[in-house]
Structure 1
Amino acid sequence: MTPFDVAGLDAVVIGGDTRAAAQVAALLDGGSSVTVVAPELTATIDDLVGRGLVTWVRDVEPADLDRFDLVLRGRPRAPEPDRILGIGSVTLVGGGPGDPGLVTVAGREAIQQADVIVTDRLAPIAALAWARPDVELIDVAKIPGGRSTSQDDINQLLVEHAKAGRHVVRFKGGDNFVFGRGGEELLACHAAGIATRVIPGVSSAIAAPALAGVPVTHRGLTQGFTVISGHVPPDHPDSTLDYAALARSGTTIVVLMGVRTLEAICAALVTGGLAPSTPAAVVADGSLSSQHVVRATVSTIAAHAAGVRPPAVAVIGDVADIDGLVDDADGTSR
C-alpha cells in the first residue's frame, strides 16, 4: 500500500485523525515501526496503541524528528468540489480480515467513489488511501472496554449523510452480515427510504484460520463448521447458544469476539461432552504483519492465549492440528 519499500524503517506520522490512521496502517503493513505524534487520537489509532502495534507521543521537538527514517504528515482533507448533490445512497462494504489486498474489486470501487466513509477499527484502514482527497472520513470504532460509538448514532450518520445527497460507504472488517450489525444498518436505511447496496466481504471466521493453515472443513475430519459470537459467556442471560449441542455437533467451532470469554466457552464445551484433548487454535491479527497463532487443546487454549488481545479468532476442532498444514513460520506458539 506504500509506493516504496518501508520494511524495517522507523517511521513517524504527524497527526492522529482517520487520514493519519490510513498512513499508519499502510506503514505497519509494509513492515515499519511506527510512532504517531498527535495531541489526540482517533479511536482506530488509539486501538493500535493499546494493542502495542504503535507508539504514541503527544508532542516532539522538531529536532527529535531527525532520528526517524521516514516522516509523514497527515493529509488535510481537500476542499469539496462544487457540485449539485443528487439522491444519496448507502453501500455496506465488507473489508475482509485486515489486509487491504483482500478487499473485493467491488469494495475498492465503492471506496473510490464515496463522498463519505464511515469506518471502524477492524476495517483495513490502509484501504482508505484509495478514497478521493475530498472524502469525509468518520471513525466510529468500538474498542472493547474503551471508546465506542452507539449503533443508533452510526445508523443516524448513515441516514443523515445519504439524505444530504451523499454517497456513503459503511466500511467494516470481515463481512457486514457476520456479527457486523449490517442488517440493522440496512433496516435503518430502508426505514428512511435510502437506496442501499451490499458488497460482501471475506469473513475473518474463514480467512483468519485459513491464513494460519487451519481449514474450517476437511474431508474425513468434519463435514461442517459453526460460527458463534463470544461476546457474552455461556452463563450470561443474553446467551442463546446451546453449548452441549455444540459439543455434540461434530462440527468445527469458530468463535468470534471471544478473547475475553474463551475460558468460559471452552469449559462449557468440555462440560457438554467435547473431549478435553480436542485441538484448538487462536489466530490474532489475522492477515496482518502482526498475525500470530497460539495452538493448544480446548482444555488449555485459554491459558496459552491469555496474553492475546482482540481482534482474534478461535478455532476448536480436529482441523486445528492437521499434520502438514501447521507451519511454525506463522508465529505459532504452544
Structure 2
Amino acid sequence: MAEHPAYPVGLRLTGRRVVVLGGGQVAQRRLPALIAAGADILLVSPEVTPSVQAMADAGEITWRRRPYEEGDLTDAWYALIATGDVDANTRASAEAERRRVWCVRSDDADEATAWTPATGHSEGVTVAVLTTDARGRDPRHTAAIRDAVVEGLRDGTLVAPHHRTRTPGVALVGGGPGDPDLITVRGRRLLAEADVVIADRLGPRDLLAELPPHVEVIDAAKIPYGRFMAQEAINNALIEHAKQGKSVVRLKGGDPYVFGRGMEELQALAEVGIPCTVVPGISSSISVPSAVGIPVTHRGVAHEFTVVSGHVAPDDERSLVDWPSLARLTGTLVILMGVDKIGRIAETLVAHGKPADTPVALVQEGTTAAQRRVDATLATVAETVRTEDVKPPAVIVIGEVVKVGPLVTAPSE
C-alpha cells in the first residue's frame, strides 16, 4: 500500500484521558508536555525513573505500579506506548486500534497510528515538525528542522509579521556584557521587532547592524542637552516615541537594574502611563570575570561576592559604599566603573585591613574581541593601571579567586 503523509493536527487534551505505558526515559521526556496540556494521565508501569516518580508523588499523574493489562486503554483519547516489552507493546497497540485510540509507539513507528512531532515553543507559538518523505520518522532530521525554526523565531532572524494591533510601549532590554551572542533570547526577539532603539554605548553594538533599515537608532550617548541632562533626555525620548505608538527598545549594557538607571527610566514611563517591559541581562559583574577564567565564587575560596560601583572615590561625600566593611570581607569584591578611582579604592581597602598583596585582575572590554586581562595586587594596581594604560570599560576583581583558574586573555568562541 502506498505511503501517505501524516495529517498534522493539534490535540486539545485538557481533562481527557491519556494512557502512558512504560515509565522509562521516553515517558520522562513526553510527560511534561502532556501535563502542560492538562491531560488526565494514567501511567502503567512496574517501575519508573526518579523524575517520573516525582510527577506521581506531586499528583500530576496517576501511576499504576504493574505491567500493561488488556482494558488499560478504556476511555482513553490518546496513548503513548513505550515499554521495554515488545509483546506488551504489540497487544496494547492492537487494543488501541480496536478502541479507536490514537496511539504512538516508541519501538515501532510503522505500527503506530500517530507520530510525535519534534516540537518547540517561542512566545506563544508552537512549532511542530513532521517530514513527509522517507526521513519522516528520523528524529534527528525533524529535530534539526525544529531547532532551526525555533532559534530563528527566538533570535529574530526569522520574523513573521504580526497581523494584529500591537500595544505600543517600551522594553528595557539588558544587552549583556558586550558579546552580541550573550543577549537573552527574549531581548534579541524584542530588538528584532522594534521600531525605535535607544542604545547605550556599552550595549552590544554589533546587534544594531542587524536591524532593518526602517528602524530608528538613537545613540543615547549623543542625545542633546549635554552630559548633566543626558538621563532626562533619554527619558523624554522614550516617552515621545512610545506616545507615537511605536515599539521602543532601550538597549542597555549588562542588566538594566545593575548600575543601569533602569528603574529611573521605568518610573518616568510609569508617571505618564506608558507600559514597560523589563528584560534582565547578563551582568558584566559575573560574566566578564568568567570570560577570563575567574569564578567570582569557588568552593573553599569565596562564599560571597560583592558588586560595588566605583564611579565615586571612597573619600567623596557622595559615596554610599561602606568601604571599611568591605575591607573586612573575605570573599570576592567586583568593582564596576572604577578604573580611574582604583588607586584610592585600593589605598582605602588596605588602610582598613585588606592585605596589600590581595590579588587584583582588571578586565578591559570583557567578552569582546578587544578583551584583555591585566593582573596586579592592591599594592601595585594603581601603578599597573598607568603603565598598562588600562581604560574603561573594565571590570575589576579583587580577591583570592583571581588566582584560581587558568589565565584566559581572549573571549571564548
TM normalised by structure 2 equals 0.57
1: CA distance between counterparts of 2:255 and 2:340?
22
Q: Tell me which of 259, 264, 275 is aligned to 1:184.
A: 264
**Highest relative contact order (Cα 8 Å, sep 6+), 1 or 2?**
1
Aligned to 2:340, what secondary structure does the other structure show?
coil
Letter in 2 for 1:201: G
Q: Does 1:156 align with 2:240?
A: no
Counterpart contact for 1:225–1:251, Cα < 8 Å: yes
Counterpart contact for 1:87–1:162, Cα < 8 Å: no
1:142 offset after TM fit, Å?
Answer: 7.3
Max Rg structure? 2
Q: Tell me which of 392, 396, 403 is aligned to 1:310.
A: 392
1:129 offset after TM fit, Å?
Answer: 2.6
Over the matched positions of the two proteins, sequence identity in percent amounts to 49
Instruction: Render the CA deviation track for 1:40-68: whole Å, top value 9, x for unaligned.
Output: xxxxxxxxxxxxxxxxxxxxxxxxxxxxx
Q: Tell me which of 200, 220, 223 is aligned to 2:300.
A: 220
Q: Does 1:124 align with 2:204?
A: yes
- Cα RMSD for the two superposed structures: 2.2
2: CA distance between counterparts of 1:136 and 1:329?
36
Q: Tell me which of 66, 88, 107 is aligned to 2:187.
A: 107
2: CA distance between counterparts of 1:312 and 1:86?
39
Question: Cα 1:134–1:229, aligned 2, differ >3 Å: closer, same or farther?
Answer: same
For structure 1, which runs of at least 5 residues remain unmatched after alignment? 1-82
2: CA distance between counterparts of 1:208 and 1:287?
6
Which residues in structure 2 correspond to 1:1-334 (within 5 Å)?
Answer: 87-141=167-221, 150-306=230-386, 307-322=389-404, 325-327=405-407, 329-330=409-410
Letter in 1 for 2:390: V
Question: Cα 1:244–1:142, aligned 2, differ >3 Å: closer, same or farther?
Answer: farther
Question: Cα 1:214–1:142, aligned 2, differ >3 Å: closer, same or farther?
Answer: farther
1: CA distance between counterparts of 2:222 and 2:334?
22
Question: Cα 1:90–1:114, aligned 2, differ >3 Å: closer, same or farther?
Answer: same
Aligned twin of 2:58? none
Aligned residue-pair number: 246
Moved >3 Å (runs of 4+) = 83-87, 146-149, 328-331
Question: Cα 1:295–1:187, aligned 2, differ >3 Å: closer, same or farther?
Answer: same
1: CA distance between counterparts of 2:297 and 2:352?
22
2: CA distance between counterparts of 1:276 and 1:124?
36
Counterpart contact for 2:359–2:377, Cα < 8 Å: yes
Counterpart contact for 1:111–1:130, Cα < 8 Å: no
1:85 offset after TM fit, Å?
Answer: 8.0
1: CA distance between counterparts of 2:408 and 2:169?
46
1:326 offset after TM fit, Å?
Answer: 2.8
2: CA distance between counterparts of 1:90 and 1:139?
16
Question: Cα 1:161–1:328, aligned 2, differ >3 Å: closer, same or farther?
Answer: closer
1: CA distance between counterparts of 2:230 and 2:328?
37
Question: Cα 1:105–1:87, aligned 2, differ >3 Å: closer, same or farther?
Answer: closer
Question: Cα 1:299–1:142, aligned 2, differ >3 Å: closer, same or farther?
Answer: farther
Instruction: Render the CA deviation track for 1:298-318: whole Å, top value 9, x for unaligned.
Output: 111121122111100000000
Aligned to 1:156, what secondary structure does the other structure show?
helix
Counterpart contact for 1:141–1:149, Cα < 8 Å: no
Counterpart contact for 1:85–1:165, Cα < 8 Å: no
Aligned to 1:260, what secondary structure does the other structure show?
helix
TM normalised by structure 1 equals 0.70
For structure 2, which runs of at least 5 residues remain unmatched after alignment? 1-162
